[in-house]
Structure formats: C-alpha cells, structure tokens
Amino acid sequence: MNHFDKGIERIINKLQTDSYAIIRGDIICSCVDYATKQANPDCPKCLGLGRNLRIKSIKAAIRTSEGSFQNMAVDEKSVVYKGYMTERYSRLLSKDDVVVEGMNAYHVTKKSDKRSDSITPVYSVVFLAPKKKNPEKFVRKFYEVMNK
Ligand SMILES: [Zn+2]
C-alpha cells in the first residue's frame, strides 16, 4: 500500500459514517415540466432531481477541503468538500448525483482519479458541493420517502 492509501484508509476507518448515495438514472421523471424542464421539488419519486433514482447505503468520510477558507472573498457555500470512500461506493456515483450524510446533502462535482495500484481495497475521493437549493427540505423529504 502506498502513502496515499494509508492516509485515506486512516481517514475512512476513523471518520466514515453511514450515508446514502442518490443515483440519478436516465429516465426523466413525470413531474418535469415540459416547457421549463424544471422538476417539482416536492415530487416523492425524484425528490426534485428530475430523474428516476436509485438509493444505496454507502459509508463515506466527508471533510471540508483544506484551505477552502483561505480566500475570504469566497462564498462559504462554494466551499469544496471531499468524500473519502472505498471504490466499491465511489464507483456508484457520477457527476450531479447526491450524497446524503445526516442532515446534509451534497452534489457530486467530480471524482478524483487518485487511486491505488494495490488490488484491494481501493480508496477514492469524490468532490462534493453542498446542495444549495433548499437542502433541509430535500433531506427531510428524502428520509420521509426512505421510511415509507
Ligand atoms: Zn419527479
């Protein structure tokens, strides 16, 4: 295992929590307005994401990216988060999918190509941005739908 793996492994083992991956499918949800292409944020099927969804339990350690606050002009909401997880989970996620951890929701912005050469386990980093539009409402709705 190389240095990167060891550091990531330590973070993941210590800090990972049970989270959910909300994976957007290819099918446009019936709530999406034909003219505006906007999804209904109250839709119980797509949670306002506008696509069919698959929900998976994952384990991830989500941390603020170091140095994000160095530039004080930067809006706090544009702070980058990194989700550390094993590749078994990260490979489920693509850009614009959503990760829910506790009462927080994050959009996947990109995946790091950093990965180990070892056979197992493989760790990776998923870059996340806090969901900006009504995150609390989204998370509440998510758990409501999950518990049905
Ligand atoms: Zn919908």
Examine residue 23 and state whether it is found in any structural domain, yes or no.
no
Examine residue 73 and state whether it is found in any structural domain, yes or no.
yes
Residue partners of 133: CB distance under 8 A and separation at least 6: 41, 48
Q: Cis check for the bond before 121: say yes or no (omega within 30 of 0).
A: yes
CA 140 – ligand 1 centroid, Å: 16
Examine residue 88 and state whether it is found in any structural domain, yes or no.
yes
Examine residue 142 and state whether it is found in any structural domain, yes or no.
yes
CA 63 – ligand 1 centroid, Å: 30
Examine residue 46 and state whether it is found in any structural domain, yes or no.
no
| H or E element that contains 110 | strand 104-111
Q: Name the pLDDT band for 123 (thresholds 50, 70, 90).
A: confident
Looking at the structure of the chain, the number of domains it has is 1
- Enter the tokens of residue 94: 């693509």
Examine residue 120 and state whether it is found in any structural domain, yes or no.
yes
CA 7 – ligand 1 centroid, Å: 40
Examine residue 77 and state whether it is found in any structural domain, yes or no.
yes
| Confidence at residue 70, expressed as pLDDT on a 0 to 100 scale | 46
pLDDT in tens, 5-55: 677 677 777 888 999 999 999 999 999 999 999 999 999 999 999 999 999
CA distance 121 to 123: 7
Examine residue 95 and state whether it is found in any structural domain, yes or no.
yes
pLDDT in tens, 74-122: 555 457 898 988 888 999 999 999 999 999 999 999 887 555 565 555 6
Q: Which domain holds residue 8?
A: 3-18+61-146
CA 32 – ligand 1 centroid, Å: 6
Q: pTM of whole model > 0.85?
A: no
Residue partners of 27: CB distance under 8 A and separation at least 6: 51, 52
| H or E element that contains 99 | strand 98-101
